[in-house]
Structure 1
Amino acid sequence: MHHAVLAARLLALRVGAGLSLTQAAAALGAHRTTVMRIERAETALDAGQVRTLLERYGAGQEEIRQFLSELATANLPGWWHPWRDVMDPWALDLMNVESAARMVRVWHPALVPPLLRTPAYALAVEDALGTGRSPADRARRVESLTERRARLTERGTRIWSLMTEAALRTRVGDGNIMEEQLAALREDAARPDVILQVARLTDPPHPLTGVAGLTLYRVDVPEIPDHVVRESPVGPADVWSDTETVTAYRTLIDQACAAAPHPSTPLPYPVPLT
């Protein structure tokens, strides 16, 4: 259970009990900003504080027990914990959102989107980008990406990917790597949990033409908003969760997908190996 979900539930319980932030804070012997930070998931949820608040809000013992059990689960390290030292900080912050997503929509203007990359292709991208990381760290980043995909598949999260025909032309690694990647894309296109569209080079520009890679997380949990991520070649990615920005990018992705060939359309052509 996501900390943000539990924090939102605490807010709903306080409002339902008709208590102000000041009244809730009094039960903790703290300032109202302490409760505000708890309700915004801006601080770790302490089991003792949570129990005190739940009792003040009139929760029954079974509800308190269940809440604290979910909190204990939320406090366990995420699956990504072993790779946290090689993951981008902004990506770490989004793993809980990804874990709650029912659909991940991705766009990449020049390469195969990360979640559809084979390990060999992903490693070749890491090597080509010259990130300054050691070979061991680059290999571990690929491991974390492979695990991400496995976790999404396990949860039945749908991946809706829009890529360009240019990705099939851009040589990443050698011919064997490209051949393996294309075969993997064909297999993915036949999966029920993957929607794959390829914008052709001969098609007119679409709303995402020239736009950096995007990832849109569609989340089913009411307490967690949808998120959109725009990649950056320098510095951290841009991340938004406000309704206006997320809706604007979702509209762009919808329009670009509507302009692209239907998902059932075969991949344009095999990757040349010479």
Structure 2
Amino acid sequence: MAQKPRASPTMAHRVLARRLQRVRVEQARLSPEQAAHLVGVNHMTIRRIENATTSINHAQIEQLLDAYGVRGAARQTLLDQAREAAEPGWWHERYRPVMSAPYQQWIALESAAAVIRLWAPAHVPGLLQIPAYTAALHRALHPDAPPAHTDLAVELVHQRQQRQRERGARLWTILSAAALHPVIGGPAVRRAQHQALEAALTQSRTALQIVPLGTGVHPLLGAPPVRHLRLDSAEIPDHVVEHRPGATTITDDEDTVARWRLALDITAATATWPTTLAPHLPTEEEQHG
């Protein structure tokens, strides 16, 4: 029987992993090798548990808590958290067919982010897309995908948008004016997408800046789409996701995150805060194809 695919780690799983690491280091004062020896596993198993790169194993966690001397209410709290962490993310069962492994990894971070900052150089990002735009973009990027997958991809983006609004997460997008020009889905879809962006300019939890076509050199010139995610958890640091052709990089490396955050800050200082998109849109002739 084929093994059921492992769910990508949710925020609850990541937080549990950090807490188990902290207990090992601060309370038990054990190295990964020492902890592994006490519970009879390889030291890499300890590292995978603490990096949330392996499925939740309740028996193994109980063994670790025994080895670390965790008792009473503290033990029960961690066991309760382990049960919560074992639950797959909302995207796991229904949307896996249209999600790459990196997509599943960063969607868990986005789903728990308090602030989402985006650099969008080539097209409108998912959290600001209308369904027809999402569908057209998915068909263009996945020409061999069945229609059912396009429908799922559209539904997934809608779910992301709805959950972001329900959480009250702040969305701050720096959009290159060039991203407003591609005809994705045809002129009518492009016009409808522009109208949706106009409406977004008035939304309280949405900040939308435009880098005009005539802008000079800035730190994000030539950069791929980037998302900076500030997590709604003091235990999980900021993450940056870089979307390069054929490869998505997800990191919480402090220096890398700081470098991208500075690039976003400097570019934001050069970008406009439009009250209308009109100055940045294609000409009337281009609009009508």
TM-score (norm 2): 0.85
Which residue of the partner structure matches residue 243 of structure 1?
A: 254
Paired amino acid for 2:103:
A
Match of 2:268 in 1: 257
Structure 1 position 55, deviation (Å): 3.3
Map of 2:76 onto structure 1: 65
2:15 counterpart residue number:
5
Match of 1:191 among 191, 197, 203: 203
What secondary structure is seen at the aligned counterpart in 1 of 2:89? coil
Deviation digits for residues 126-164 of structure 1, max 9, x if unmatched?
Answer: 223354222221221121111111111111111111112
Contact 1:97 1:224 in 2 (8 A): no
Structure 2 unpaired stretches of 5+ = 1-10
Partner of 1:174: 186
> How far off is 1:23 after superposition?
4.4
Aligned to 2:109: 97
Equivalent pair of 1:7/1:41 in contact (CA under 8 Å): yes
Q: How many residues end up aligned between the 2 structures?
A: 272
Residues 133, 190 of structure 2: 8 Å contact kept: yes
> Structure 2: how far apart are the matches of 1:119 and 1:189?
19
Amino acid at match of 1:142: V
1:230 to 233, 239, 242: 242
| Distance in 2 (alpha carbons) for counterparts of 1:91 and 1:200 | 29
Q: Secondary structure at the match of 2:229?
A: strand
SS in 2 for 1:237: strand
**Cα pair distance change 1:127/1:60, threshold 3 Å:** same
Identity of aligned residues (%): 36
Contact 1:3 1:71 in 2 (8 A): yes
Provide closer, same or farther for how the CA distance between residues 177 and 247 of structure 1 changes in structure 2, counting only shifts above 3 A. Answer: same
Give the AA of the match of 1:174: G
Looking at structure 1, the residues matched to 99 and 67 of structure 2 have their Cα atoms a distance apart, in angstroms, of 40
Q: What is the match of residue 66 of structure 2?
A: 55
Residue 96 (structure 2) aligned to one of 80, 84, 89? 84
TM-score, length of structure 1 as denominator length: 0.90
Structure 1 residue matching 2:210: 3-state secondary structure: strand
Q: Secondary structure at the match of 1:266?
A: coil
1:158–1:193 Cα contact (<8 Å) kept:
yes
Gaps of 5+ in 1: none
| Counterpart in the other structure of 2:7 | none
Are 2:41 and 1:19 equivalent residues in the alignment? no
Task: State the one-letter code of the partner of 1:3.
Answer: H
- Picking from 117, 129, 154, the partner of 1:117 is 129
Which moved further from structure 2: 172-181 or 144-153? Answer: 172-181
User: Partners of 2:29 and 2:249 in 1: how far apart?
Assistant: 36
Amino acid aligned to 2:82? L
Equivalent pair of 1:165/1:268 in contact (CA under 8 Å): no
Specify which of 273, 276, 286 is matched with residue 266 of structure 1: 276
Residue 108 of structure 2: SS of its match in structure 1? helix
Q: CA deviation at 1:76?
A: 1.2
Partner of 2:39: 28
How many angstroms apart in 2 are the aligned matches of 1:137 and 1:207?
36
